Amino acid sequence: PYELSEQFCGDETYIRVNGRWHYLFFFFDAVKKIILSYPVSPNRDTMTAIRAIDEVLLKMNEIPEDLTFVVDGNPIYLLAQHFFAQHDINF
């Protein structure tokens, strides 16, 4: 585990992999500037967003109460937030 802050930023972008478009999701610590998650997927979907956020959470000793994820308005992140809320992880 890393010594992390409670503030994280994330986004996704397009990249070419073997001539095909894929999506690179990435999350980083907004304070410490450490890249924590960068899964690549052929789909821009909620499951990949969940996986990217989960990779960040797994790097923490415990989840802080004031955990903050800053993302754009893509609805997959809101759905991911609801998924984690069902598992008592709120941000």
Q: State residue 3's pLDDT score.
A: 87
CATH number for the domain that contains residue 32: 3.30.420
Residue at 65 is within a domain: yes
What is residue 63's DSSP assignment? -
Question: Using CA atoms, how far apart are residues 89 and 78, in angstroms rounded to an integer?
Answer: 13
Question: Using CA atoms, how far apart are residues 4 and 22, in angstroms rounded to an integer?
Answer: 29
Q: State residue 42's pLDDT score.
A: 97
- What type of residue is 14? Y
Contacts of 59 (CB under 8 A, 6+ apart): 1, 2, 4, 36
Residue at 29 is within a domain: yes
Per-residue pLDDT of the chain (91 residues; tens, 9 = 90+): 578 999 999 999 999 999 999 999 999 999 999 999 999 999 999 999 999 999 999 999 899 999 999 999 999 999 999 999 999 999 9
Question: Using CA atoms, how far apart are residues 57 and 37, in angstroms rounded to an integer?
Answer: 10
Domain that residue 73 falls in? 7-86
Count how many domains the chain has.
Answer: 1
- Total-model pTM: 0.92
Residue at 2 is within a domain: no
Helix (DSSP H) and strand (DSSP E) numbers for the chain: 2, 5
Residue at 22 is within a domain: yes
